[in-house]
Amino acid sequence: MTEDFWNRTWTEFEPFQLDPVAFRENATRSNREFLNLIGEVHRKDVLDIGCGNGLLSVYLAQLGARVTAIDTSPQAVKNTLVLAKMNRVDSLVEAYRFNAMELINLCKSFDIVAGKFILHHIEPFDEFAEILFSMLKKGGRGVFFENNSRNPVLIFFRTFVVGKFGVPKYGDREEYPFEPREIEILKQRFDSVSLYYPEFMFFRLMSPYLFKQNVKISEILSRVDRWIYRYWSFLHKYSYLQIIRVQKL
């Protein structure tokens, strides 16, 4: 089951003192852009969907946000609360075991809704888009760091290679990368929907699957990705990573 998978994933987490400056400076290019797009959070009501170990929730609370964190994994909720307490922002972080389709039961609205690798888990997505719209205050925004199913080569590899022939599979069995049709659902509901591709991730994905994270091979593949990002902008939309920003005007 999906819940069991994520409970096992989060079990070995060790809470630590999170330095918000280092958290941002050490982030990847895509993660920094994700944080930039979330924007100013001081005294804002923020919902973190799929909080995982609570890193984003605690980071935003350290910047002054009032954070509500949800996850279907009880271990994730526990980790988030422990991390918030260790970092002395527990007064600003609430965490609950909730399914995204049950968010309406929170009886709250938010200035910002954020999530990392969560939208592609949610079905039926058209119903969730309505819930997301209703949860946002007027002028509110949603920012989501997601994977991307637009690249047919990646989808072929995911469908016919990963999990077979000794190639490892990461993630639960029910997930599927975020689809263009789901982008269209968001566009039908929200006043503004923007897509961002801060970097091109394609060839470097081969490293953990085929080359056991060989450092030299990983660096070569990363260089290829960076070259493509710099010179072939028309391929950006086929990156495995994307950021989706929606606005309720």
pLDDT in tens, 185-203: 999 999 999 999 999 999 9
Instruction: Kindly report which listed range (2-11, 128-137, 166-175) carries the lowest average pLDDT score.
Output: 166-175
CA–CA separation, 114 and 125 (whole Å) = 16
Residues 6+ apart with CB under 8 A from 75: 6, 7, 10, 11
DSSP state of 50: S
Determine phi and psi for 17, rounding to 5 degrees: -75, 115
- What pTM, to 2 d.p., does this model score? 0.92
Question: Is 226 within the bounds of a domain?
Answer: no
Encoded amino acid at 173, one letter? R
CATH assignment of the domain containing 150: 3.40.50.150
More confident residue, 204 or 6: 204
| Structural domain range at position 107 | 2-201+240-247
Residue range 97-117: average pLDDT?
Answer: 93
Question: Is 215 within the bounds of a domain?
Answer: no
Say yes or no to pLDDT of 173 above 70. no
- Predicted confidence at residue 67, as pLDDT, reads 98
Question: Is 232 within the bounds of a domain?
Answer: no
* Domain total in the chain: 1
Q: What percent of the chain has pLDDT over 70?
A: 95
Contact 56, 48 (CB under 8 A): yes
Ranked by mean pLDDT, which of 112-116, 165-169, 216-220 comes out on top? Answer: 112-116
